[in-house]
Amino acid sequence: MDLMRDLLDSEVVDRHKRDIGRVDGIVAELRPDGPPIVRWIELGGRTKLRRISRFLARWVRRAPCRIAWKDIRAMGRTIEVDIDAADLSALHWERWLRDRIIARIPGGG
């Protein structure tokens, strides 16, 4: 499997098939005595921005949403994970933005 090609920008859905976002980064542990081990996939603007500019990414305070590799159930056109999107603290900001800003824009809600 080519992680960069097969995972980056893939859609991620929770156990209820609800959209969580897209894979913006892959976190691996480098080991001196063996190959790297993939630990997490990351979702969120900070991770995506870090791929472009580490300097700009420092300005984004919100931490990326990390999903443990062990929680991935299936990989295909979408990445299915064994978590509930409602439990992800990283998505609270998106819900706040939707409810307080987007919903008040005519046609936005």
Q: What is the pLDDT of residues 14-30, one digit of tens each?
A: 999 998 888 888 999 99
Helix, strand, coil content of the chain in percent (nearest 5) = 35, 35, 30
Q: Taking the mean position of all CA atoms in its chain, how far away is CA 24?
A: 6
pLDDT for position 57: 64
Average of per-residue pLDDT values in the chain: 83
More confident residue, 103 or 53: 103
Nearest CA-CA partner of 99 in 107, 90, 108: 108
CA distance 55 to 59: 7
Look at 104 and 15; give whichever has higher pLDDT: 15
Task: Give the homologous superfamily in CATH for domain 3-83.
Answer: PRC-barrel domain (2.30.30.240)
Identify the band that residue 90 occupies on the pLDDT scale cut at 50, 70 and 90. low
Structural tokens at position 66: 């990390």
pTM, 2 dp: 0.71
- Give Cα 96 to chain centroid, integer Å: 18
